[in-house]
Structure 1
């Protein structure tokens, strides 16, 4: 928790990147390249910074001191905490069950994802 920030330097299109949420849960802001799920996990100026290149990452390191560790932790608890995850799973289960038609078929996963994004 005494780290100034976590540099998430993966250039791989990470589907989630658990290490980012673990760092934020400790109150450590994350600076990551705009790849994969990074823009969905980090909220700019609240839990860290999403950057496009190494130069921007260096600039963000200078700015990270403006992010409050408690605000960072509260953000990750609200967005990725157990209560939120349970609510999301229940919503997914209900949506799936309610999506069955009379023949018993279910919609393709991307149809459910579209409903979730709406």
Structure 2
């Protein structure tokens, strides 16, 4: 259980510094709620994830990534625009004994 908490902390800390590293490399900054523009292509990507962690007394812990969603949009700068959302529901379930993707559902 301690290793899971360490991994979760490492992911959190890495996510906090990712935009700064992107800016230092000369890439456009990521702005929360606006996604990441891919150069001058008119394509923007974004998304979200949700996770749950349960550690009830006298029972094994359980964690799950319940939603992974990717947004892709395109704007030609004129009349044409496109938007797509791809989602994996109930993507990953973790517990003391295993990691499972058996309940994963892909939605387009």
* TM-score, structure 1 as length reference: 0.21
Q: Comparing both structures, which one devotes a greater share of its residues to helix?
A: 1
Higher relative contact order (CA 8 A, sep 6+): 1
Normalised by the length of structure 2, the TM-score is 0.22
